[in-house]
Amino acid sequence: MKQQNSSVTVSPKESIGVEAAAHRLGISVGRVRTLLGQGRIEGAQKMGRRWQIPTRRGMPKIIPGHRGPKGNWYRKQRTQNGFIHANQHLLRLNRKDAGSRPAIALKLGKHSQYCHFVEVKGQSRLVYSPTKPSSNCRARLWMEVPPTVPVGSSKFETPVGTRGRGDAGSRRNESPPQISFTPPGNHRQAVGVPEAAYLLRVSPQRVRQLLNQGRIAGASKIYQRWRIPLGSRGLPQVSAGSRGPKGTWCHSPVQKTIIRINQAKIHTNTASNSCLPVIDIWHNGTVCHCHEVEIMVPSRILYRPHHGGAYSLWIEVATEVKVVGKGKDDSLHAHTFCIIRNNSKK
């Protein structure tokens, strides 16, 4: 008799939303909404503005279509962890030709994709093991995510001519070059809708709504793509509405706990066969160097090729967390371990 993974809880009478259904089925939120509009999800009902999707053994029941290819969604709940790692080949290509190819590889079950931004909405574990790569993704630096934790991803706009593996392909000849994503603070640059949504801490749909209302200063649409300039504080300038509650978007850069991946140390370890800790945790003015991090809170992974320096790839977590270090760091081959958890002080 097969034993089920204890990390997966099966509830036969559970009702979930659109995002949870997309995570369990392994498809996009837009695809789930399309199936709902076609009436192909069994028992789904709309309560006000929200969908309630019933599950059978933890999974939504999708009615097969009459034509077209067979759907590639999951029929059973995933029991294997998801894996996130950086493709070193793409990182080297971006440094060589100043490109901005998406280099973060996201593997959830049988689906894999490349992106610039990943949001993990729960617990995760970041591991660096130069001598023993992961057996699932063959990487020496990777992040493991439990199958029950939702994961979202996004690609930032890349200039034409620097598209690499994982890009959507080349655009038409009449499409102008797009300005790539730049770090906050450089007010002379412009960004697209996904980057503006990240900076303002709102959804891309909310950004498009503000653009259609003309409430983002200097925004212009060029060949079906929005170009949003950044203000003096490195954020899009959003004007207040004439009615309704005050906007909840970010008005100034938010101070966060940052986990940075030191690419220079990775190259040093590869060249000299050493085991220096490459994970740097910046928290409240202090830095902790380690090989492994247990992240007990939601996190965001970002890759900005044009950020410069040894830190073009990093992870952001909330400010009100506590960093606990374990292990010894008195030799090059000592394995150091840290835990990032909620700060319980109240």
Looking at the structure, tell me whether residues 265 and 285 fall in a common domain: yes
User: Each residue of 237-250: pLDDT tens digit?
Assistant: 898 887 777 777 76
Q: 3-class SS at 42? A: coil
Looking at the structure, tell me whether residues 110 and 222 fall in a common domain: no
Tell me, yes or no, whether 231 lies in a domain: yes
Q: Residue 50 pLDDT > 80, yes or no?
A: yes
Looking at the structure, tell me whether residues 109 and 148 fall in a common domain: yes
Compare 253 and 315 and report the one with higher pLDDT. Answer: 315
Looking at the structure, tell me whether residues 116 and 227 fall in a common domain: no
Nearest alpha-carbon partner for 225 in 184, 190, 178, 181: 178
C-beta contacts of 182-185 below 8 A and 24+ residues apart: 182/230, 182/304, 182/306, 182/307, 183/234, 183/304, 183/307, 184/230, 184/233, 184/234, 184/235, 184/253, 185/233, 185/234, 185/253
Looking at the structure, tell me whether residues 96 and 212 fall in a common domain: no
Nearest alpha-carbon partner for 57 in 10, 17, 7, 14: 10
Name the least confident of 93-97, 155-159, 193-197.
Answer: 155-159
Tell me, yes or no, whether 76 lies in a domain: no
Pairing of strands 257-261, 279-283: antiparallel
Q: What is the mean pLDDT of residues 228-233?
A: 81
Burial (CB count within 10 angstroms: exposed 0-12, middle 13-18, buried 19+), residue 255: exposed
Q: Residue 1 pLDDT > 50, yes or no?
A: no
Q: Residue 10 pLDDT > 60, yes or no?
A: no
Range of the domain at 212: 185-252
User: Each residue of 133-147: pLDDT tens digit?
Assistant: 888 888 989 999 999
pLDDT at residue 169, rounded to an integer: 40
Domain count, the chain: 3
Looking at the structure, tell me whether residues 142 and 264 fall in a common domain: yes
Looking at the structure, tell me whether residues 118 and 258 fall in a common domain: yes
And the tokens for 253?
């850069």
For the ranges 30-44, 60-74, 219-233, the maximum mean pLDDT occurs at 30-44
Nearest alpha-carbon partner for 207 in 217, 218, 196: 196
Tell me, yes or no, whether 163 lies in a domain: no
Confidence band, pLDDT 50/70/90 cuts, at residue 158: very low
Name the least confident of 112-121, 182-191, 329-338.
Answer: 182-191
Last residue of a domain, one of 65, 92, 107: 65
pLDDT at residue 307, rounded to an integer: 62
Confidence band, pLDDT 50/70/90 cuts, at residue 251: low
Tell me, yes or no, whether 201 lies in a domain: yes
Tell me, yes or no, whether 161 lies in a domain: no
- In our burial notation (b when 16+ CB lie closer than 10 A, e otherwise), range 272-285 reads eeebbbbbbbbbee
Confidence band, pLDDT 50/70/90 cuts, at residue 157: low
Looking at the structure, tell me whether residues 139 and 287 fall in a common domain: yes
Looking at the structure, tell me whether residues 12 and 129 fall in a common domain: no
User: Each residue of 272-311: pLDDT tens digit?
Assistant: 888 888 898 888 778 888 889 999 889 989 888 776 555 7
Nearest alpha-carbon partner for 60 in 109, 6, 5, 15: 15
Q: Residue 12 pLDDT > 60, yes or no?
A: no
Cβ-contact 77, 9 below 8 angstroms: no
pLDDT at residue 70, rounded to an integer: 80
Name the least confident of 95-109, 171-185, 209-223, 314-328.
Answer: 171-185
Q: What is the mean pLDDT of residues 63-75?
A: 83
Q: Residue 5 pLDDT > 70, yes or no?
A: no
Nearest alpha-carbon partner for 317 in 288, 281, 269: 281
Looking at the structure, tell me whether residues 59 and 110 fall in a common domain: no
pLDDT at residue 143, rounded to an integer: 94
Q: Residue 201 pLDDT > 90, yes or no?
A: no
Q: Residue 78 pLDDT > 60, yes or no?
A: yes
Tell me, yes or no, whether 176 lies in a domain: no
Looking at the structure, tell me whether residues 131 and 20 fall in a common domain: no
Tell me, yes or no, whether 180 lies in a domain: no
- How much of the chain exceeds pLDDT 90, in percent? 15
Last residue of a domain, one of 208, 223, 252: 252
Last residue of a domain, one of 210, 227, 252: 252
Any bridge partners for residue 335, and if so which?
none
Name the least confident of 107-116, 138-147, 312-321.
Answer: 312-321
Tell me, yes or no, whether 165 lies in a domain: no
Confidence band, pLDDT 50/70/90 cuts, at residue 105: very high
